């Protein structure tokens, strides 16, 4: 079922959909025979909602595939994450809330160390403090070339996002990082003729940077990797006829949401409760709300089972504020699994709950991995959740007579 | 798995398959926490059969997609309903039991009202009584042009099926209905060169109709929509090596079955029991029987929960007559869901039962939506049911050595 097929069936409606994404939600038991983080968490509100919902497990990319945050989000947003790819450079720029546009080519930048003969001695410049990285970034921003704008945005320590803005820039470019020391940095080469202008500009920038940084050892050179243009994809308003809002604190999630045409709302404050307040404040202005919960993933990646349990319980405590708004459809899911026991993202399917007045409730009054196995959504591709949500929001008309 | 792959593995067998399609079978509870129509119905025979069967839920078109009767039937018949499309005009002609052929282009016709200056005043001619429509249809059948046959078959009130029959007629044609009043009817235009002949003939027919109907206000003009050729698709005998029969009272279902190469049997009488009698009478003549139950859908579309329950119970009471024939495979399913609470077709997966001597019985002695969630067929595309049925009928040989 492709987008064109679905798009032709979309009809307007006065209904609202809320999608709560607990990042890295899926988990594993600490010990064989034990419970997962979600099964351990005390979640009376999620359990009560589960009893009135259809449950299932979503596969973000494919069987056995561990998704990054980009593909994980695109999938639950309804996009085939193998077809629609966000390049690493673009993701780095989105992560610092950079407003990436169609004339931009972005890359991941590193400060690095070079000896007097031009050979690399440290690919990360001794992980200089972020403050030093910021000062050097300011220096790099003094570089000017005709017909192009450069942007340098510090990420952390030696890392920065690098963006070139000009018409007609391709992103079929080689990286300058040789991935080892004792050799010189590589030049940027165009892999296709449409990227020759980009290669020339990037090399000129690097040359100027080398001169500016000459006396800044250990950060006396830069490396650029993962060149990527702004990925263009059909947006929520175009595809689904939805005025969509994103509520997320971290820039990368705001960025991915903006790529699919959501408006990233300003969150006053940094707590999860602040995100729920933002939802309430803008309730009348949008048809679709994506609300992102970060802490579940950071706890999982830190291997902190208990902190992940607490992060889930925090969502459960705030859930009644969403229910009080009476959305027509509520989705609770994740972009991927991040079991504390693995300390990383994982390939495991993600527990998913879909509530609406018109869903066939499974009558399973528990939201957890094993409860979801018994649910009527079954094990399904994450990208299939949005069409089902749209149907429940009565936004898809009949196909054929 | 495409048809060519499957077709190469088909082997002959002396087995019989019965497919009972309760139209719009899937439902929803009237009240949250309640039972669906199928779960409410007292169905001892279906429940006993379920205990010896594999259960599951079929998705006719795709997640969240509400199928029309055409795509819903094609899917459960084993065809990809997005690839094989029956145009609206063709479906209208099939619905009046018109014997649509490969040289035909069909359209939905309307009588309409036009003022003295040629502007539309009522697109439905005040919904003239069917008898008036029939008399005017007779008048239109007097139109003759060289090298083409025209057919006009009254559907109901102002509606009729219109068919042009001649070699080399394309169906890439615009509609004449401007979808509003106060403007003239549009001419038929060819969207591709292969349809120019069709456009010319249709416009000539309309011109003659206008003259014939001049003094027949309110039905003094016609509109033609949804031009469509007879869709050609591989048939049951070719694809599956099945001599297949269709038992249905309503023309549209007979028509769709004929498109896939089933022989539409004459049903003496109009009751469901008459359909079962037809099955018994022709038992020795075919390998595959499709038996259509209409009342479940009409009750669902009327929002009549109780009448849908009774329609299901009627099937249950007649089921022993099928079982007595000892079919090798019995499929009980629907072409889509039609929950009474929605008063329309819906996107919900359809409860499905597949009985055979060689199925792995789930041992679930209940045929209902939630019982089917626990079944071993899982949630599966409707088009996958036929290959499983054919395997159980020992009509598919081994792939590879």
Q: How confident is the model at residue B250 (pLDDT cuts 50, 70, 90)?
A: confident
Of A374, A376, A391, the CB nearest to B66: A391
**Is the four-CA dihedral A210, A213, A218, A223 of positive or negative sign?**
negative
Q: How far is CA A235 from the centre of its chain?
A: 16
Q: With 90 as the cut, is the pLDDT of residue B232 above it? A: no
CA distances (Å), origin B51, targets A247, B186, B318, B362, B380: 48, 58, 18, 7, 20
Percent of chain B with pLDDT over 90: 93
Predicted local distance difference test score (pLDDT) of residue A182: 96
Residues of B in contact with A386 (CB under 8 A): 64
Predicted local distance difference test score (pLDDT) of residue B334: 98
Predicted local distance difference test score (pLDDT) of residue A41: 98
At residue A169's C-alpha, the angle toward residues A167 and A170, to 5°, is 150
Residues of A in contact with B63 (CB under 8 A): 1, 380, 384-385, 387-388, 391
- Separation of alpha carbons B253 and A119, rounded Å: 77
- The answer to whether the CB atoms of B65 and A389 lie below 8 A apart is no
Domain segments of chain A: what residues?
3-85+234-392, 90-229
- The answer to whether the CB atoms of A376 and B68 lie below 8 A apart is no
The alpha-carbon radius of gyration of chain A (Å, integer) is 23
Q: How confident is the model at residue B16 (pLDDT cuts 50, 70, 90)?
A: very high
Q: With 90 as the cut, is the pLDDT of residue B354 above it? A: yes
Q: How confident is the model at residue B230 (pLDDT cuts 50, 70, 90)?
A: confident
Query: Which residue pairs, CB below 8 angstroms and at least 24 apart, start in A135-140?
Result: A136/A111, A136/A213, A136/A216, A136/A219, A139/A212, A139/A213, A139/A216, A140/A209, A140/A212, A140/A222
The dihedrals phi and psi of B4, each to the nearest 5 degrees, come to: -60, -45
Taking the Cβ of residue A11 and every Cβ of chain B, the question of whether any pair is shorter than 8 Å is answered with no
Query: What's the distance, Cα to Cα, between the start and end of chain B in Å?
Result: 18
Of B64, B339, B373, the CB nearest to A388: B64
Q: Which distant-in-sequence residues (6+ apart) come within 8 Å of B116 by Cβ?
A: none
Predicted local distance difference test score (pLDDT) of residue B32: 83
Judged by DSSP in three states, A150 sits in: strand
Of B28, B65, B82, the CB nearest to A358: B28
Taking the Cβ of residue A365 and every Cβ of chain B, the question of whether any pair is shorter than 8 Å is answered with no
- Separation of alpha carbons B220 and B394, rounded Å: 59
Q: For B360-383, write each residue's pLDDT tens digit.
A: 999 999 999 999 999 999 999 999
- Kindly report the number of other CB atoms within 10 A of residue B4's CB atom: 9
The dihedrals phi and psi of B352, each to the nearest 5 degrees, come to: -140, 135
- Kindly report the number of other CB atoms within 10 A of residue B344's CB atom: 15
The dihedrals phi and psi of B66, each to the nearest 5 degrees, come to: -90, 120
Q: Are A277 and A265 in contact (CB under 8 A)?
A: no
Predicted local distance difference test score (pLDDT) of residue B231: 85
- Separation of alpha carbons A59 and A75, rounded Å: 9
Interface test with chain A among B373, B380, B384, by most A beta carbons within 10 Å: B373
Q: Are B214 and B222 in contact (CB under 8 A)?
A: no
Q: What are the mean pLDDT values of chain A's consecutive 10-residue runs (401 residues total)?
A: 93 98 98 96 98 98 96 97 92 88 94 96 95 97 96 94 96 95 96 96 97 96 94 93 95 90 94 98 98 97 97 98 98 98 97 97 96 96 98 96 80
Q: How confident is the model at residue B33 (pLDDT cuts 50, 70, 90)?
A: confident
Predicted local distance difference test score (pLDDT) of residue B284: 98
The tokens describing B398, both together, are: 């081994």
Judged by DSSP in three states, B236 sits in: helix
Q: Are A60 and A72 in contact (CB under 8 A)?
A: yes
The tokens describing A337, both together, are: 């699994």
Predicted local distance difference test score (pLDDT) of residue B88: 87
The tokens describing A60, both together, are: 């973000």
- Separation of alpha carbons A96 and A298, rounded Å: 18
- E strands within A211-283? 221-229, 244-247, 263-264
Of A361, A362, A400, the CB nearest to B32: A361
- How far does A275 lie from chain B, in Å, by closest CA? 29
- How far does A390 lie from chain B, in Å, by closest CA? 7
Q: Are B188 and B224 in contact (CB under 8 A)?
A: yes
Q: Is B399 left (phi over 0), alpha (psi -120 to 50) or beta?
A: beta
Predicted local distance difference test score (pLDDT) of residue A321: 98
- The answer to whether the CB atoms of A362 and B374 lie below 8 A apart is no
Predicted local distance difference test score (pLDDT) of residue B97: 86
Of B63, B68, B91, the CB nearest to A398: B68
Taking the Cβ of residue A61 and every Cβ of chain B, the question of whether any pair is shorter than 8 Å is answered with no
Its pTM surpasses 0.95: no
- Separation of alpha carbons B360 and B232, rounded Å: 36
Which whole number is the average pLDDT over B100-118? 94
Q: For B261-314, write each residue's pLDDT tens digit.
A: 999 999 999 899 999 999 999 999 999 999 999 999 999 999 999 999 999 999
Q: With 90 as the cut, is the pLDDT of residue B59 above it? A: yes
Query: What letter does residue B185 receive in the DSSP assignment?
Result: P
Predicted local distance difference test score (pLDDT) of residue A345: 96
Q: Per CATH, which fold does A3-85+234-392 belong to?
A: Alkaline Phosphatase, subunit A (3.40.720)
Taking the Cβ of residue B35 and every Cβ of chain A, the question of whether any pair is shorter than 8 Å is answered with no
**ipTM value of the model?**
0.88
Strand partners, B288: B17, B244
Q: With 80 as the cut, is the pLDDT of residue B1 above it? A: no
Q: For B113-171, write each residue's pLDDT tens digit.
A: 999 999 999 999 999 999 999 999 999 999 999 999 999 999 989 999 999 999 999 99
Predicted local distance difference test score (pLDDT) of residue B366: 98
- How far does A82 lie from chain B, in Å, by closest CA? 19
Predicted local distance difference test score (pLDDT) of residue A250: 85
Judged by DSSP in three states, A107 sits in: strand
CB-count burial class (<10 Å; 0-12, 13-18, 19+) for A31: exposed
Residues of B in contact with A396 (CB under 8 A): 64-66, 347
Predicted local distance difference test score (pLDDT) of residue B94: 87
**Is the four-CA dihedral B189, B191, B196, B198 of positive or negative sign?**
negative
């Amino acid at each position: 079922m492709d987008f064109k097929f679905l798009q032709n069936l979309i009809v307007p409606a006065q209904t609202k959909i809320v999608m709560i994404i607990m990042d890295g939600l899926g988990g594993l038991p600490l010990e064989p025979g034990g419970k997962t983080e979600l099964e351990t968490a005390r979640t009376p509100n999620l359990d009560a909602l589960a009893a009135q919902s259809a449950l299932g497990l979503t596969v973000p990319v494919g069987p056995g595939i561990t998704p990054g945050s980009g593909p994980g989000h695109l999938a639950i947003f309804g996009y085939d994450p193998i077809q629609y790819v966000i390049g690493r450079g673009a993701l780095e720029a989105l992560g610092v809330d950079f407003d990436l546009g169609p004339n931009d080519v972005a890359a991941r930048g590193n400060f690095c160390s070079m000896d007097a003969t031009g050979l690399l001695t440290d690919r990360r410049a001794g992980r200089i403090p972020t403050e030093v990285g910021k000062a050097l970034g300011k220096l790099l921003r003094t570089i000017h070339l005709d017909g192009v704008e450069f942007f340098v945005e510090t990420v952390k320590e030696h890392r920065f996002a690098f963006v070139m803005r000009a018409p007609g820039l391709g992103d079929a470019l080689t990286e300058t990082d040789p991935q080892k020391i004792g050799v010189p940095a590589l030049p940027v080469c165009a892999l296709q003729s449409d990227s020759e202008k980009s290669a020339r500009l990037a090399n000129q920038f690097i040359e100027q940077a080398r001169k500016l940084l000459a006396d800044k050892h250990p950060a006396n050179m830069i490396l650029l990797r993962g060149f990527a243009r702004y990925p263009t994809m059909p947006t929520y308003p175009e595809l689904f006829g939805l005025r969509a809002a994103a509520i997320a604190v971290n820039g990368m999630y705001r960025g991915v949401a903006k790529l699919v045409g959501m408006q990233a709302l300003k969150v006053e404050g940094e707590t999860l409760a602040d995100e729920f307040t933002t939802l309430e404040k803008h309730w009348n202005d949008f048809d679709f709300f994506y609300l992102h919960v970060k802490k579940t993933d950071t706890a999982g990646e830190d291997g902190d089972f208990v902190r992940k349990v607490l992060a889930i319980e925090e969502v459960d405590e705030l859930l009644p504020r969403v229910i009080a708004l009476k959305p027509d459809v509520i989705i609770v899911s994740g972009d991927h699994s991040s079991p504390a026991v693995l300390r990383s993202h994982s390939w495991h399917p993600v527990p998913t709950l879909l509530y609406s007045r018109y869903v066939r409730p499974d009558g399973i009054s528990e939201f957890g991995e094993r409860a979801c196995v018994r649910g009527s959504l079954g094990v399904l591709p994450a990208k299939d959740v949005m069409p089902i949500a749209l149907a429940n929001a009565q936004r898809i008309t009949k196909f054929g007579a």
